[in-house]
Structure 1
Amino acid sequence: MKQYIFLILVIILFVSSCKQEKIAPKKPNILWLVTEDMGHYIPSFGDSTIVTPHLSKLASEGVIYPNLYSTSGVCAPSRAAIATGMYPSSIGANHMRTTSYSEVTGLPKYGAVPPPEVKMISELLRKQGYYCTNNYKTDYQFKPPVTAWDESSPYAHWRNREKNQPFFAVFNFTETHESGLFEPYGFREIETRHYQAGDKSYNWKNKGKSHAKNRMTEAETPVHIPKDTKFKVPPYLPDTEIVQRDLWKLYNNIAEMDRQVGAVLKQLEEDGLLENTIIMFYGDHGGPMPREKRLIYDSGLKTPMIVRFPGKINAGTKFNQLVSFVDFAPTLLSLTHQKPLAYMQGQAFLGKYQSKKQRNYIHAAADRFDGFTDAIRAVKDKQFKYIRNYRPEQGYYLPITYREKIPTMQELIRLKDEGKLNDVQMQWFRDKKPKEELFDCINDPFELHNLVENPEYKDKLAELSNEMDRWLTEIGDVPNFPEKELVAKLWDGKKTKPKTANPVTVIKNGKIVISCDTKGASIGYKTDPKAKSWTVYSEPVKIKSTEMLLVKAHRIGYEPSKDVEVKIAMLK
């Protein structure tokens, strides 16, 4: 009942705002502030190690969601879930970096291939008239169609839209990424000047490249927290000088991210848009330290979320409902007054079409990470998590080169080889793992004590095991399915990546009609080849006979079509 009252208040607020200010958009602006590799490390979520003034203010004016879970413990599969509203393991998106790791796997580069009706959520919002910008991450496990964004670059910003056009803007903050723990330590030079997105006076061309490039030295890097701070170390890591130093980096990076978040929020307020905008802050999965990222323990899945609504509705409250990344796309549609689409596997947790029932479970999956493959599935209710290991003969720890650049990971390996890790710290390095695991995540938050053999929990074990079977069947997930066979399935048995057919244009009733023989292809067009973005085609277009039309089609997971140039006069 509380959430329905809250929903009514939101609607009343927007109607009132539109009546009082004619310039206010009819639909809410939506701003996503997305950080990387982020556990519950901030005061608003119970960790007072550092001060985060901007996020703390956002939380005091907004709603805290302490039970948000990614669908994977790593970024690209999770981003696929956010972009489509579908579980990555249901569309071929759960193996990390399918578009770039062919030299490691021996497989061709491929992208996820969801059903033909699936579109990126940003394209669906563009069709509603939203100006959609992404600054600047794009690894969705597939190449985004040209119709996905009005802008997707380091320059992308709501300030580039038409006056009064509603916007959906995504800003990604990278300082908290695990690469921020690598040595030599230092912040990215460009980002730390201030997060001046949309300001072309800054040299953005190298933004986001290798962690080792374009970074301040440690001496130049701002110190947000004293280096002699004594940090609380989770039991699965040793408490050594090296681990303490990495924890200092972790929290120092978060404090810098908070400063960058503040810069974007300041721009929003300066533009007079704060009370027309729904602001959402979240992380792309759990923390960056070893035994966190890439695993589907809560340390790898659980990430904070804050939602601030216009008028500070429900300010300072906490909603304890379970939320999954697959819920983001349907929720965005619901907040913009559109009914979630039938193919979406999540449910709206806010807005006009908010689900009448809260989630009982969240689900997650782990498969290949870089050059190493595993097969793990998880289901969790508010207290218990059930994990099923499809490769029990294989240990949990995978020697991923990228992760081994973290000094703490090097320290773990050294201490393991010297026989100096305790039993808890050695769990990750077991040669084998149990077929099933069950954890009480309230009384055992680090998921160290497997309850599978405890008869007191046999009913809970059966419940969650049955729920996993139901979920796997519902989404068509076949765990441990060989990746080579997955590629063949996605490509309908062909040896090469399927290609989107070239679009066809004809004139009917004085308007240009564009079609494509590839089912589910998104179609974009330009009347000016130099235009920065492609318009999403949704209905016949009327243009002058002297104009030229540039057309492109692209189905997600397929190669895009060629750019087809159409001279209107020749169609007459």
Structure 2
Amino acid sequence: MTRLFRLLVFGLCFSALRAAEKPNVLVILADDCTYSDLSFNGGQNAKTPNLDRFANESLVFERAYVGMAMCSPSRSELYSGRLPLRNGCAWNHGKSRPGTRSLPHYLGDLGYRVGLAGKKHIGPREVYPFENVPGFDDNCVRNPTLPHDLGGTREFMTRKGDQPFCLVIALVEPHAPWVMGDRSAYPPRKLKLPPYLADTPRTRQDFASYLAEITYMDGQVGEILGLLDELKLADDTLVLFSSEQGAQFPGNKWTNWDSGLHTSLVARWPGVTQPGSRTRAMVQYADVVPTLIDLAGGKPEPDAFDGTSFAGVLRGKTDEHREFAYGMHNNWPEGPPYPIRSVTDGEWRYIRNLTPEKLYIEKHLMGRTEHNAYWPTWVFRAVENPHALELVERFVHRPAEHLYHTSEDRFEMKNLADDPACAEIKARLAKELDRELADQLDPGIPLDTPEAHHAADDLKPKFPGKP
């Protein structure tokens, strides 16, 4: 046996042994970053050299979803393994139901120290008892964002070399206001706008500012990954990057369209995940906690979660996971009530608007202009431009049902709900959505009310939800 061959065998055995141990876990979250705007997901504008390099070293999930396209509900789902109604945070700025367990509880029981740096937007503290790790701004609307410092991250990662850690670094970019980064790198006239945005000068200007923040966020990701390399922890750490829900543009955040609910998920675990690989296995934020419990040597109990472990996907043993991913939206207090429910099988998406007779209004997009000044330009352009009018109407006046062939219509611009050729597909997805709503004890319209939201704020479990 040659020396080179012996070294190769030793290296493979060492990698397998290391992968069998409890990995460190680093979760990096962007804030309000549309899946399709990142280049490794097919985006045509954003410059993200660090994320591109990371994706080339990792397994990229092509079908990952959040349950609600809003900050508090999506993060509560991610940290609890429960869908919004079941964990109790089914509105933005809401809180989870007392007694809910989350990542710090589950991994803490398995010997991990569990910390959170940056944005929180979750509560109450007893449900999410993360160790607070300093160094990143926790205010997503601060102008400008505070400078970051990796000192707290370094201290947390190196505090006890024999104890595995789980650290979430929740960045606040590219959440509006879009004031960070170099906007001059994105000349507005050269941008390729997605078809759900009306083409006005102000839209292009704001989209350029948003892209600049993506690049700023990418720089932060590069620094964090660089620290992991410097500390020689990269080989022992599972790194997950995710982009949360879509950006603060009409058709993204606060919707159940794909551009709202589809999220990035990239996993790098040296010796386990295949570099430069992609998977079409469908996963949802609710699957992450059961997966991490599984990888840490625990046994996630099915009754405790709305998700299941996708460890087999990470290990390359399967390219399948869940059959459906679910979405919901309760508009209060982001605007007048407008409840929405949806389901996707990865190929098709079915959306049900529960009060289609009402106008959809979102106050941040349509009522404030300090960092979303494009909306009035859409309305003005709609007077003489049919496409702008179509986009305004698409956003504010919606039918009872939508059906999209998402795999063929990436931005879901053609509603096929009334197409007889698609009736069987619509019926299948509608039946599955009905089953899921019954399982979650979803009351529908009454949930999207000030009364239900205030009951949640009081931390009183007065609203329905699967126990």
Shift of 1:358: 1.8
Aligned position for 1:367: 330
Aligned position for 2:390: 424
Rg comparison, structure with higher value: 1
Shift of 1:228: 5.2
- Asked if 1:453 is matched to 2:453, the reply is no
Q: Conserved in 2, the CA contact under 8 Å of 1:133 and 1:170?
A: yes
Per-residue CA distance 1:181-228 (angstroms, 9 max, x = gap): xxxxx32xxxxxxxxxxxxxxxxxxxxxxxxxxxxxxxxx54572425
- Asked if 1:409 is matched to 2:375, the reply is yes
Aligned position for 1:113: 97
Task: Supply the distance in 2 between the matched residues of 1:288 and 1:353 (Cα, whole angstroms).
Answer: 31
Task: Supply the distance in 2 between the matched residues of 1:119 and 1:476 (Cα, whole angstroms).
Answer: 20
Distance 1:64 1:429, change over 3 A: closer
Task: Supply the distance in 2 between the matched residues of 1:32 and 1:125 (Cα, whole angstroms).
Answer: 14
Shift of 1:157: 2.2
Alignment map for 1:105-184 (pairs within 5 Å): 111-113=95-97, 116=99, 118-140=100-122, 142-145=123-126, 148-154=129-135, 156-157=152-153, 159-160=155-156, 161-180=159-178
Alignment partner for residue 199 of structure 2, among 239, 243, 247? 239
Q: Conserved in 1, the CA contact under 8 Å of 2:350 and 2:426?
A: yes
Q: Which amino acid aligns with 1:32?
A: V
Per-residue CA distance 1:356-415 (angstroms, 9 max, x = gap): 862111100000242432110000112111111111111234343676431222322333
Task: Supply the distance in 2 between the matched residues of 1:224 and 1:262 (Cα, whole angstroms).
Answer: 21
Q: Conserved in 1, the CA contact under 8 Å of 2:186 and 2:211?
A: no
Shift of 1:248: 1.3
Q: Which amino acid aligns with 1:68?
A: A
Shift of 1:251: 1.6
- Asked if 1:33 is matched to 2:34, the reply is no
Per-residue CA distance 1:273-304 (angstroms, 9 max, x = gap): 01000111111112332221111101111122
SS at match of 1:445: coil
- Asked if 1:462 is matched to 2:434, the reply is no
TM-score under structure 2 length normalisation: 0.83
Aligned position for 2:65: 69
Task: Supply the distance in 2 between the matched residues of 1:290 and 1:147 (Cα, whole angstroms).
Answer: 31
Task: Supply the distance in 2 between the matched residues of 1:408 and 1:340 (Cα, whole angstroms).
Answer: 46
Q: Conserved in 2, the CA contact under 8 Å of 1:35 and 1:173?
A: yes
Q: Which amino acid aligns with 1:345?
A: D
Give the gaps of 5 or more residues in structure 1.
1-10, 19-24, 99-110, 181-185, 188-220, 500-572
Task: Supply the distance in 2 between the matched residues of 1:121 and 1:321 (Cα, whole angstroms).
Answer: 23
Distance 1:247 1:127, change over 3 A: same
The percent identity for this pair of structures is 25
Distance 1:325 1:433, change over 3 A: same
Q: Conserved in 2, the CA contact under 8 Å of 1:327 and 1:347?
A: yes
Shift of 1:463: 0.5
Shift of 1:437: 1.4
SS at match of 1:178: coil
Task: Supply the distance in 2 between the matched residues of 1:57 and 1:488 (Cα, whole angstroms).
Answer: 45
Alignment partner for residue 215 of structure 2, among 244, 255, 262? 255
Distance 1:425 1:448, change over 3 A: same
Task: Supply the distance in 2 between the matched residues of 1:367 and 1:261 (Cα, whole angstroms).
Answer: 32
Give the gaps of 5 or more residues in structure 2.
1-11, 137-151, 462-467
Per-residue CA distance 1:306-363 (angstroms, 9 max, x = gap): 1111237411010111111111111111121211123101111115999986211110
Distance 1:143 1:59, change over 3 A: same
Task: Supply the distance in 1 between the matched residues of 2:360 and 2:347 (Cα, whole angstroms).
Answer: 23
Distance 1:313 1:240, change over 3 A: same
Q: Which amino acid aligns with 2:345?
A: D
Aligned position for 1:385: 349
Distance 1:240 1:269, change over 3 A: same
Q: Conserved in 1, the CA contact under 8 Å of 2:200 and 2:378?
A: no
TM-score under structure 1 length normalisation: 0.68
**RMSD across aligned C-alpha pairs, in angstroms?**
2.9
Shift of 1:258: 0.8
- Asked if 1:476 is matched to 2:464, the reply is no
Task: Supply the distance in 2 between the matched residues of 1:87 and 1:146 (Cα, whole angstroms).
Answer: 15
